[in-house]
Amino acid sequence: MNSTALWNEQLSVGVEEIDEEHRELLFLMRRLELAMDQDNPSTEIHLILNSLADHALTHFSTEESHFLETGYPKADFHAQEHRRFERKINRFKKAFASGNVQIADGMFHLVRDWLTQHIEGDDQEFAAFLANRQQL
Ligand SMILES: [Fe+2]
Ligand SMILES: [Fe+2]
């Protein structure tokens, strides 16, 4: 079943650069899910997975530079969450490379759920902080 959500307006954090990167990450996650569901060649899945991991790294540094610029008080906690995701996606890459389909499948769900919950949760908290700040 293809269940990865795509971006919608409700996920906007009010910063176009961040929203654009979220759209790209969710799109790559959907492509990865489709490729895994359809048992596409592993080289193709690997390419999407690497691209997802690269985009995630770029995205986290974008967000973290916005935390610095705005003096976001939860920056450390939020950045630690990003590091957790990086570890998860690295484990996923290893599981996939080792050919263990069952573990890779399980890792996919962990990584997907983490990403959607993070965009809906921690990233929205940052959005709320930015919105409040603009009202001051
Ligand atoms: Fe994000
Ligand atoms: Fe984040």
pLDDT tens figures, 57-107: 999 999 999 999 999 999 999 999 999 999 999 999 999 999 888 889 999
Q: What ranges do the domains of the chain cover?
A: 15-135
Give the distance (Å) from ligand 2 centre to CA of residue 78: 6
Tell me, yes or no, if the pTM score tops 0.75.
yes
Residue 77 CA: which ligand is closest? 2
Residue 122 Cα, ligand 2 centroid: separation in angstroms? 6
CATH for 15-135? 1.20.120.50
Judged against a pLDDT cut of 60, whether residue 20 lies above it is answered with yes
CA of 118 to the centre of ligand 1 (A): 7
Q: Give the percent of the chain with pLDDT over 90.
A: 86
Whether 2 shows a pLDDT value over 60: the answer reads: no
CA of 59 to the centre of ligand 1 (A): 7
* pLDDT for residue 101: 83
Whether residue 3 is predicted with pLDDT greater than 70 in this model: the reply is no
83-91 long-range contacts, CB within 8 A, separation 24+: 84/114, 85/56, 85/60, 85/111, 85/114, 85/115, 85/118, 86/53, 86/56, 86/57, 86/60, 88/114, 89/49, 89/52, 89/53, 89/56, 90/53
Q: Which of 2-16, 68-82, 119-133 has the lowest mean pLDDT?
A: 2-16
Residues flanking ion ligand 1, Cβ below 5 Å? 123
Mean pLDDT, to the nearest integer, of 104-120?
A: 94
| Residues surrounding ion ligand 2 at CB below 5 Å | 63, 123
